[in-house]
Amino acid sequence: MATTDGTAGRRITEKLSDEALTASTGRGWAAWFARLDAWGGTTRTHTEIARHLVEAEGLNGWHAQSVAVGYEQERGLREVGQSCDGDWQASASRTVNAPAARVTEAFVDEALRRRWLPDGDFDVRTHRPGKSLTADWEGATSRISVYLTPKGGARTQVGLGHTKLPDADAVVAYKEFWRARLTDLKNLLESTG
């Protein structure tokens, strides 16, 4: 979601409250940032920070990643919407009342895809029916990855990541674009069965 200042979304410190982090890890954001500063975190890679948080501080993988990203954002090492290697990326997800194989079909069958994604062009690179697919977007200027998670019955969670975007403005635009397109996909598949 774009914020009022036009950035690509909310910082992780806004998504994960200080209270929740403290309850889960024993420390809040400021305490974690101080520990990482004392360790020399601003001179380390994302992988080194996350590994340190797991091995030396005892955090689980999810909390280590969250604290590492929060630290990098707070210290100006990366912006919201930017990966640890500098790549700009957007994501969206939606749960659809349709089996994963049908969702895959909606991406790989061009005629069906045009019904929910009339604008935009992609070439499927790989796909595993009912599981995932990757595709080059708009002549390989960027890439999308789709991951499907069956949720029981005929429900499927669709997670879409769009990587290799040029900047934060593209992140904002594609977040909005993919949320709308996945809603159209959901509506189509749920109305046609």
- Select from 40, 74, 108 the last residue of a domain: 74
**Domain annotation covers residue 155:** yes
Same domain for 131 and 187, yes or no, is yes
pLDDT of residue 3: 38
**Domain annotation covers residue 5:** no
Give the contacts of 41 (CB within 8 A, at least 6 positions apart): 49, 52, 71, 75
pLDDT of residue 97: 96
| Count of domains for the chain | 2
What's the CATH number where 187 sits? Answer: 3.30.530.20
Same domain for 54 and 142, yes or no, is no
**Domain annotation covers residue 81:** no
The three-state (H, E, C) secondary structure of the chain, written as one string: CCCCCCCCCCCHHHHCCHHHHHHHHCCCHHHHHHHHHHHCHHHCCHHHHHHHHHHCCCCCHHHHHHHHHHHHHHCCCCCCCECCCCCEEEEEEEEECCCHHHHHHHHHCHHHHHHHCCCCCEEEEEEECCCEEEEEECCCCEEEEEEEEECCCCCEEEEEEEEEECCHHHHHHHHHHHHHHHHHHHHHHHHHC
The pLDDT averaged over each successive group of 10 residues in the chain (193 residues) is 48 92 96 97 95 96 93 91 82 95 95 93 92 93 94 92 90 92 97 77
pTM listed for this prediction: 0.69
**Domain annotation covers residue 168:** yes
Which structural domain range is residue 182 located in?
A: 88-192
**Domain annotation covers residue 6:** no
